[in-house]
């Protein structure tokens, strides 16, 4: 395969109660090593504490404000800010602004048919209590 062009109108945008999940690179496109997704978090919404056991992740903020956690460290990220997260490291992203927050996340390598794996740990300590029971 020489490559796959993905016009904006052909990228599947999955609506969730927290916002929009739009994968633009996955095994369905022939990608073996890179899973890419655009995510839009509505105000007050989040991706609670989780990890990707076999994948590294880079999160790059395009719009809005994200309260980003990596293990027990928290930072505010805005447009142009990024975070690099090693495989199996617990992290979480919270939109603490009054506008939608848009990020691009890149995970590597691809895992499974969807291209990513996620293990929710938000109900476990210390994550359950870390942010006051998000």
Map out the domains of the chain as residue ranges.
16-130
Q: What is the pLDDT of residue 134?
A: 53
pLDDT value of position 63: 98
- What is the rounded average pLDDT of the residues 49-55? 97
| C-alpha to C-alpha distance for 121 and 126, rounded to whole angstroms | 9
133 pLDDT band, cuts 50/70/90, is low
pLDDT value of position 1: 60
Asked whether residue 131 carries a pLDDT value surpassing 90, the answer given is no
The CA distances from residue 124 to 26, 48, 55, 70, in Å, are: 30, 11, 21, 15
Burial 100-114, CB ≥16 within 10 A → b, else e: ebbbbbbbbebbeee
The band of 36, judged by pLDDT with boundaries at 50, 70 and 90, is very high
Mean pLDDT of 54-64: 98
Percentage, residues of the chain above pLDDT 70: 97
DSSP three-state, residue 8:
helix
Where do we find the tokens 């990513």?
A: 116
Instruction: Give the CATH class of 16-130.
Output: mainly beta
């Amino acid at each position: 395969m020489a490559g796959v062009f993905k016009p904006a109108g052909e990228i599947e945008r999955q609506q969730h109660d927290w916002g929009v999940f739009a994968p633009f690179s996955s095994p369905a496109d022939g990608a073996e090593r890179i899973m890419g997704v655009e995510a839009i978090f509505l105000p007050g919404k989040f991706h609670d504490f989780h990890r990707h056991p076999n994948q590294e992740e880079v999160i790059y903020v395009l719009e809005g404000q994200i309260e980003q956690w990596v293990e027990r460290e928290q930072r505010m990220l805005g447009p142009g800010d990024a975070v690099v997260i090693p495989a199996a490291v617990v992290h979480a992203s919270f939109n603490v602004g009054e506008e939608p927050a848009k990020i691009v996340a890149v995970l590597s390598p691809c895992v499974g048919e969807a291209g990513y794996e996620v293990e929710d740990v938000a109900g476990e300590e210390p994550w359950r209590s870390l942010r006051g029971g998000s």
